[in-house]
Chains A and B, each alone.
Chain A
Amino acid sequence: MRFTRIDRKMNGVWFLLLLLVVLPSRPAQAQVDLTGQWSPRVYNDGMDIGDYTGIPLNEAGRLRAESWHPEQLDLPENLCRPHPIDIGLRVSVSQLRITTELDNETRQPVGLRLHVAWQEPEQVIYMDGRPHPSANAPHKWSGFSTGHWERNTLVYMTDHLKEAYLTRTGVPKSDKATVTTRVHRYGNILTVIFIINDPAYLTEPYIRESSWVYDPNQVIPPFPCEITPDGTLVPAGKVPSFLPGKNDILSDFATEYGIPPESALGGAETTYPEYIKKMKTMKVAPRTTTEHYKRTQ
């Protein structure tokens, strides 16, 4: 009888101890499965010329943005140019596919690959601990990214980015910028938070987020793009731009939306909730409808 009791007790103890050993040692490679097809929630910000609200732009960045001319989109070199992935996931309203990235030789997983439909920017997030390339290595539209898990959130840092834009209307992001991205899955909802640091054009990190819905039946079509010959849409050698102080459509955004003109210029102050109180004390021009044909598509 005694032996039987001991055996029963032992079985229980053995089982509990086995759990203690086995459960903790489960693979911790991927806390959450992010792979699959994801459909975007629609965003339409960054569309208006002169809208720099909520962007901690410095003076240099503001002048650069004010000089941007919509006809620059017609330059041959810009026709097939993708957004960098941090913009592509936010402003191009495009489908997203996440797959596991395999090492070419060993076929072992080394990270994740993000593919966005519009202009097909791709970003590989390496999770295998490899270092970032040297400063002399080429920069790419989607940069070079290494990531890790913080509990159930994928966090990755991107550098080696080409110069690009923060909006579709010419707010610049320099090739010195780095982006920290945090991806979290809540069931069938995916949230992506971007924290953009740009020592050239931002005074503070610029933070924004976007959301996606799991859509396993989504099909992403190919996005072929052919560059037109130089001089077809814009005379060869010309780069359309507004001379400093000559942008005649800059104030349209503030007028149309009825906000103080200086608020539209952005800056770190405009990124904080307290600024809303200040805005209420500022002078606003009478709200009128402006010519939106100059808004970029």
Chain B
Amino acid sequence: MDFLSSKPGLVCIASALIFLGVLGSTQFVYPQETQNRGRQNAAPNTSREEQKSKSPELELLPVQGNISMLAGAGGNITVQVGKDGILLVDTGVATMSDKVLEAIRTLSKGQITYIINTGDRTDHVGGNENFAKIGRPLAINRAAQASVFIVAFSTILDRMTDPNGKPAVSEKAWPNDTYSVPQKNLYFNGEAIQIFHQPATTDGNSIVFFRRSDVVSTGDIFDPTEYPIIDLKNGGSLQGVLEGLNRLRQMAIPADHMEGGTMIVPGHGRLCDVADLDIYQQMVTIVRDRLRDMIDKGMTLDQVKAAKPTRDYDPIYGSNTGNWTTDMFIEAAYKSLSSKPDTRGGRRNN
């Protein structure tokens, strides 16, 4: 009688196989359910995203062509890299410059050659000085004192050099390649780049269009995280923002079924496409029409605020705290529309 035929042998083998069977039934029959239970017990995805958005960590997202978007350093930063070097649209806040540079170095070890400022808010120009120190203009690479080209509309330089401006901005951070015409063109990294002056949130906004990559950097003209910031003292207006949004819509072309195509790096928030821009433009237009109607009826600012004309959009764009509250937007928009009775564009609403 061999071992396999013996009674103890049978018991041993049977026990082993039953053990294997039970193990198999738990490991193989229900692996998905086991995983599922794990997933159900895990924190919901939205919580993960909230945690991520609150984190000071930077995120580098490839956009298309040779363009990437850096989020998490204040305003969004657009990064174009190639054989000629590195071009940045905006530089975020100063305190994040080291991390921004670290992220850029994963794309390219080249020199930062161009910075284009879309506006003068510190969350867009804060890193200018830090990057100016390490960058070099392409044509004079050997010149030790040469600084990176910082391109902006001329009024941005006016603001940053204003002796009454607070806080004072170091000279190193000033734009040194300003323009005061409707459009400035560059050719860098094998790509045509158009910089358009578009007065909107101030009188000095710029839109940057990367033609080969088919990407537009909008600065604060398009900020899907909040109502448009209208800086009345510096030439901003609600109508200007709308004209800027309409111009962006003409430049950007959606792909099939209104998704993708021209990609848009907004001033803040997630990477967008034309459909996202359309949704924001519709909101601003509808809010403008409501405010106009109230102004035409002779309502005061307090009455308009009390009527809460943006209450259906507040869950998405509104805020009661922070640097730009819903009340501040309504006040700026009201004053903007009240002060310029002859600048109304488009047709009246129903």
- Enumerate chain A interface residues (CB-CB to B < 8 A): 3, 6-7, 10, 13, 17, 20-21, 24-26, 28, 58-61, 63-64, 67, 69, 72, 75, 77, 80-82, 119-121, 129, 132, 134-141, 148-151, 155, 157, 159, 162-163, 172, 174-176, 178, 199-201, 225, 227, 230, 235-244, 246
Contact = CB atoms under 8 A, between A and B. Distances in A.
A225 B293 CA distance: 36
B133 interface: no
Contact of A20 (B4, B17, B31): B17
Interface in B295-350: 307, 309, 311-316, 345-347, 349-350
Interface in B20-47: 20-22, 24-25, 27-33, 35-36, 39, 45-46
Given A3-B5, A26-B28, A81-B258, A17 B17 contact: yes
A239 B285 contact: yes
A150 B36 contact: yes
Contacts of B72: 136
A121 B286 CA distance: 28
Given A135-B53, A199-B315, A82 B258 contact: yes
Contacts of B263: 138
Contacts of B10: 10, 13
Contacts of A75: 278, 282
- List the 3 shortest-distance A-B pairs measured between CB atoms, nearest first: A20-B21, A237-B346, A200-B315
B257 interface: yes
A92 B286 CA distance: 27
B145 interface: no
B315 A60 contact: yes
Given A60-B312, A242-B350, A141 B259 contact: yes
Contacts of A140: 259
B71 A201 contact: no
B270 A139 contact: yes
A61 B272 CA distance: 23
B32 A148 contact: yes
Contact of A178 (B33, B46, B59, B269): B46
Contact of A176 (B5, B285, B316): B316
Contact of A237 (B21, B27, B33, B285): B285
Nearest to A24: B25
Interface of B: 1, 4-5, 10, 14, 17-18, 20-22, 24-25, 27-33, 35-36, 39, 45-46, 48-50, 52-53, 59, 61, 69, 71-72, 242, 246, 249-250, 254, 256-259, 263, 269-276, 278-279, 281-282, 285-286, 289-290, 293, 307, 309, 311-316, 345-347, 349-350
Contact of A28 (B14, B31, B249, B274): B31
Contact of B309 (A72, A242, A244): A244
Contacts of A135: 49-50, 52-53, 270
A119 B275 CA distance: 15
A148 B279 contact: no
B61 A136 contact: yes
A246 to B, nearest CB: 7
B24 A24 contact: yes
B311 A63 contact: yes
A240 B285 CA distance: 9
Contacts of A64: 312-313
Contact of A6 (B5, B254, B290): B5
A140 B289 CA distance: 28
B338 to A, nearest CB: 18
A240 B249 CA distance: 17
Contacts of B293: 243
Given A21-B17, A132-B45, A241-B349, A174 B316 contact: yes
Contacts of A67: 286, 312
A206 to B, nearest CB: 15
